[in-house]
Amino acid sequence: MFLYLLGLVVFLFLYRWYRERDRVGNENDKYVYITGCDSGFGNALAKHLDKMGYRVMASCFTEKGEDELRKACSERLTAFHLDVSNTESVNKAAEFIKNHVGEKGLWALVNNAGVALPSAPFQWLTIEDFRSMLDVNLFGVIAVTLSVLPLIKKARGRVVNVSSVAGRVSCHGGPYSISKYGVEAFNDDLR
């Protein structure tokens, strides 16, 4: 009986190892577009993917963020300005990416840009507080995705939209939860 149990454990270990091994390959031919790379998760992901050999298209809201990324990464990373709440900026970035990636298309899009403030009880907020957060957290995600969707389809790529538990469970904070619920609904539509 012990040998059967040992055999099962070994089989499960080998099966897990097989399923979790790195199978992407050709990283240097794959382009990944990440929004919100000034700091935090977007910045860390851009640096990590650059070290792994991917060609990273990192958008930043500030020049300081662009400069810091350029200094910290290799020539595979291209940093540029993007304001996800501005349609002209989104379209300009999409054209820049299209010219840069050419026929290869985008292997991945990571919609990471977002804001968490203002966050307060509803009665303390104005309609402009709601608009400004929805422009970045929801409409920015939709605009960026739609602007590069043909490039993603060309490479049979994937879209990663960074959301929050606030997109499933409403919390006290007004527009943040609303915007993240919208991102979750957009994710469901993309599937």
Rounded Cα gap, residues 78 and 76, in angstroms: 7
Strand ordering across the sheet containing 108-111:
77-81, 55-60, 31-34, 108-111, 158-161
* Annotation says 54 is catalytic: no
C-alpha–C-alpha distance, residues 62 and 120, integer Å = 26
Determine which one of 31, 33, 54, 176 is catalytic: 176
C-alpha–C-alpha distance, residues 27 and 132, integer Å: 36
CB 61 within 8 A of CB 83: yes
The residues annotated as belonging to the active site are 176
